[in-house]
Structure 1
Amino acid sequence: MDLILVRHPPPDVASNVCYGRTDLPVDVSRFDASVSSMQTRLVALLNGRTPVAIHSSPLQRARRAADVLAASFGLRVTQDTRLAEMDFGAWEMRSWDAIDRHDLEAWANDVSGFSPPGGESARDIAVRVDAWARGLRTDPPDGHAEKNAVHVAVAHAGPIRLHTATALRLPTTACLSWTLDFGGICHLRIADDGQARLIRWNG
């Protein structure tokens, strides 16, 4: 099974704001160009193959791009909350400068296990996205269990980085520093036994 994870286009939000689960609108000035670039690179990567499914986070910055990609392949979008971005709890939509410095230091000291007040930890995200991905192999949507099936998901930087680490059997936070641009593509090839190989990062 091939799993292609695509980061959503840019949202309409200031660069100094902490956002995760907040359902931000897309930046309309960059949406069309971003999705067009995503489509072009995805088609080149597929090299004549057609995805069996297009999956998406429910957040509109991902779902709107997924709708466009799905339509281009004549597919419908399969939405799953497990693909949503990290829930930052009380930190959501606050300026990073306004967040308590002691909390930020606690997070830096335990990136995997620390949860912002009322939010999620990196470990929480890794567990939920891994459960989603394992389901594609053990209980595939619409019966798509072909060995060479290609699943495409439009999601967010945090879940994509954390799932890549989990799939490659690396420490949970091993990929958090890896650059992943808006519209960037991560391509994983998953063997029947669950072993994963990274084919492309930020393509």
Structure 2
Amino acid sequence: MRHPPPDVAPNVCYGRTDLPVDASRFDATVASMQARLITLLDGRMPVAIHSSPLQRARRAADVLAASLELPVTQDARLAEMDFGAWEMQSWDAIDRHDLDAWAKDVSGFSPPGGESARDLAVRVDAWARGLLGDGVDEQAARDAVYVAVAHAGPIRLHTATALRLPTTACLSWALDFGGICHLRIADDGQARLMRWNG
């Protein structure tokens, strides 16, 4: 699930920056997230609520977890992309040459001091693979329901990885604040996209 809207001006590049939530939209967004999650769960109970450590995700995860009487497992691998020197800069203020270089290699380009989309995809995939854990029955792990509250970048890139698409295949897919991406691991071990932006 994508976090509620952060409190940030439009046209600002933000990723790893720990922005507060937009208080005027938080309660309504989280209420909508809860309702959609309950519908999606259809009586099933998640084994865990995972969250990015960034407060715009963690605050929503805390509310969802409390409503389900579950703890939150915070994991830095679910954090948004680190845009390095671009963080909190107006997109118009970022060097045009750097933006052009990024456009030519969206998967591999790293903003100065930041990380690439490929780096982000690798760390989120490591989080997902870690859900199987040491000694855990793979089929039982596939049957379990995990909820993660994260960010648009990690969600899109993980979806592409899980579906075995090119790294950047899902970057243009619209994902609303509070939107759900539902992936199911089938008995054959392959991921299936059940719902996008639900």
* Structure-1-length-normalised TM-score: 0.93
Deviation of 1:194 after TM superposition, in Å, equals 3.6
2:99 paired with 1:104: yes
In the alignment, structure 2 segments of 5+ residues that lack a partner are none
Deviation of 1:147 after TM superposition, in Å, equals 4.2
Aligned equivalents of 1:76, 1:117: Cα separation in 2: 36
Paired letter, 2:120 = I
Aligned equivalents of 1:138, 1:181: Cα separation in 2: 31
2:89 paired with 1:94: yes
2:169 paired with 1:174: yes
Aligned equivalents of 2:87, 2:102: Cα separation in 1: 15
Q: Show the counterpart of 1:197.
A: 192
Deviation of 1:138 after TM superposition, in Å, equals 3.4
Alignment RMSD (CA, Å): 1.5
Deviation of 1:114 after TM superposition, in Å, equals 0.1
* Structure-2-length-normalised TM-score: 0.96
Q: Show the counterpart of 2:67.
A: 72
Secondary structure, aligned partner of 1:7: coil
Out of 190-199 and 82-91, give the one that drifted further.
190-199
Deviation of 1:139 after TM superposition, in Å, equals 3.8
List per-residue Cα deviations over 1:59-92 (Å, max 9, x = no partner). Answer: 0000000000000010010000000000000000
Secondary structure, aligned partner of 1:29: helix
Q: Show the counterpart of 2:17.
A: 22
1:25 to 1:140, Cα distance in 2 relative to 1, 3 A: farther
Aligned equivalents of 2:175, 2:153: Cα separation in 1: 10
Secondary structure, aligned partner of 1:90: helix
Which of 77, 84, 88 in structure 2 is aligned with 1:82?
A: 77
List per-residue Cα deviations over 1:92-136 (Å, max 9, x = no partner). Answer: 000000000000000000000000000000000000000100111
In the alignment, structure 1 segments of 5+ residues that lack a partner are 1-5
With CA pairs under 8 Å and 6+ residues apart, which has the higher RCO, 1 or 2? Answer: 1
1:147 to 1:123, Cα distance in 2 relative to 1, 3 A: closer
Secondary structure, aligned partner of 2:178: coil
Secondary structure, aligned partner of 1:138: coil
1:147 to 1:161, Cα distance in 2 relative to 1, 3 A: closer
2:47 paired with 1:52: yes
Which of 179, 187, 197 in structure 2 is aligned with 1:184?
A: 179
Q: Show the counterpart of 2:129.
A: 134
1:194 to 1:135, Cα distance in 2 relative to 1, 3 A: farther
Poorly superposed stretches of 4+, deviation over 2 Å: 138-141, 144-147, 191-194
Aligned equivalents of 1:195, 1:93: Cα separation in 2: 38
Deviation of 1:52 after TM superposition, in Å, equals 0.5
Q: Show the counterpart of 1:36.
A: 31
Aligned equivalents of 1:166, 1:64: Cα separation in 2: 27
List per-residue Cα deviations over 1:130-181 (Å, max 9, x = no partner). Answer: 010011123489xx94542100000000000000000000000000000000
